[in-house]
Amino acid sequence: MSKPTLSRFLIDQQRMPDSTCPAELRLLIETIARACKVINHAISKGALGDVLGSLDSENVQGEVQKKLDVIANDLLLDANEWGGHLAGMASEEMEAIHPIPNRYPKGEYLLLFDPIDGSSNVDVDLSVGTIFSILRAPEHTSGRDVEEGDFLQPGHCQVAAGYAIYGPQTLMVLTVGTGVYEFTLDAEIGSWRMTDGPLKIPTGRREFAINMARRRQWSPAISQYVEERILGAEGPLGVDYNMRWTASMVADVHRILKRGGVFLYPEDHRNGKAKLRLLYEANPMSMLIEQAGGAATDGANRILDAEPVGLHQRIGVVLGDPQEVAIVSGQLADA
């Protein structure tokens, strides 16, 4: 029996009683998936397509932009603004929101995205990804352009979330609130085919992902958690742990979805600043993790309950195996 395509899966979801995936949402997700195929093609060309390297510009966070950041951002805007499914878009790469131009029909959804997560990996041929989050536009936006405040909804309001990962295989991982499903891009026929799902995070796996370069910024509780696991069988836990870090949240979270463990990117203990963006990274990944049976917190509180106060707000992130997340939260609470 052939593996169902993404379109077939979404149509089946649309036909379910009390469906969480109406036709307009299905068409929006299919448009995003087509854009990700184009992004994948651009990445695969590498230096031959002049997509490697940096530009003489910075994004709103003050980070030097990679060529691919801008290319992917423009591809997602161009693909999604004319279809009639959206009222507006917001991107990690843009300071302000992107209302749908008046020359196009407007829809009932809002799209937020990180066009290229882990873009520093592109130049050395490591995995990168695209992360997206879909919200309903508030009803009062009918008849007017959307505003920044319309996007500032807590993560539990998301109607869908997902990511594409551009690696040895090109994958899309998606939830519309009924579990998490993985699709693989079949390059020969140009379609996404379901290859796994519903995904459930394996529990009890001794693996963690954290950026060791930031250890000076960790709280004593995070330092203790990591040190106990680095010591392995010779330490207080008496068991060995694996540590992995790819500098791409998509790649690290995908591994946790498939293999278990915990991902940590805590806020800076010295000044309370965090690295990951709530709307473009933490919220969509937290929805996926929770739909797969995991937990996602800022170290104390559920991420999906966080009330956004700005488009580019940052937050600490601890997500994955709920048992490990609870251990981290407990150690932070006891500190």
The binding site consists of 92, 114, 116-120, 211, 275, 281
Binding site feature residues for Mg(2+): 92, 114, 116-117, 281
Radius of gyration of the chain (CA): 20
Give helix 67-80 / helix 23-45 axis angle, nearest 10°: 150
Q: Are 304 and 290 in contact (CB under 8 A)?
A: yes
Binding residues for substrate, by number, are 117-120, 211, 275
Residue with tokens 């490697």: 52
- Helices 220-230 & 322-334 angle (0-180, nearest 10): 130
d(CA 233, CA 82): 57
Transcribe 87-111 into DSSP letters.
EEEEETT-SS-EEPPTTS---SEEE
210-220 in b/e form (b: 16+ CB < 10 A) is: beeeeeebbbe
Terminal-residue alpha carbon distance, the chain: 54
Distance CA 113, CA 306 (A): 18
CB count within 10 Å of CB 140 equals 8
